[in-house]
Structure 1
Amino acid sequence: MSVIIELMDETETMTNDKITLIENILQYASKQEQIPAETELSVTIVDNDGIQTINNQYRGIDKATDVISFALDENEEVVYGEEDMPNLLGDIIISINKAEEQATAYGHSLERELGFLAVHGLLHLLGYTHDEQESERRMFSRQESILNAYGLER
């Protein structure tokens, strides 16, 4: 069994290869993080206007960003496997425009950037943060470890 991922491409620009990459890297990362099978999460691909609207509405920041995560149990202890309750992890929203911009700026492939953003979003859903130096080090180290092991090296 595996994690259940609902991926929506609101831009209608994603190729099947890129959709499969995001699904596969999230499955891989979920196993690395020992997320129970049948846990559900969604990924939505939007453009810069779409993510700017979401960023402004929910975070009060009126600019486009690369990825936003909404954990469903953000302020509660997550209890996996409760009977009769679906394991809903949350939502990851990725701007394809920002992913393309950042891939060019960092000199790596769009696939590497999409993988990075997907894993980054997943780790946020699991409670990782980068608001302090130590938590940032921990999160970014974990991201790199997962991406490198999967084969999406810089």
Structure 2
Amino acid sequence: MTSTPATPTAAEVRELATHAEELAAAIDNLAGVLSQADPQGRAGFRLPDAAGLVRQAAYELLETACDLRPAYRLFTFCSMGWGVCPEHGSTLIAAGGTTHCATPGCGRTWGYRREIAPCAELATHRLIDIAGETLLCAGHAVDARNSGGRVEPFTP
């Protein structure tokens, strides 16, 4: 007789996410040490990307923990599958495992490849089009308006 493995708890998944964040910080530290030892960057040039990937894994783990405890989701999130600048929309540039907004004067940066990660911003608007209703954050609402979509405020 085989036993069914126990379903992990949200706390166990959050603990794993904490370990991933610690690993990302250790990789960042290693990148800093190597940049001092090898100013040409031949030895550690891959490390910022590696740290960004580990941070993305930590984010996905935290989202999974929330999925395991849906009653604790007090907010509604943007439903788009990629990230944007929350103020300026699709203005992101990624390099070396980090992403920044290209809008002059914005200054926002993220320690992961935000443009390929599911949007983690709160839904503030709804897009109504032929496909139905889609919940959007403020940044995605900027893009929807620029594309001629009908965008309305959304309150959960």
Q: What TM-score, normalized to structure 2?
A: 0.27
Question: Which structure ranks higher in relative contact order (CA pairs < 8 Å, sequence separation ≥ 6)?
Answer: 1
Structure 1 or 2: more helix by fraction: 1
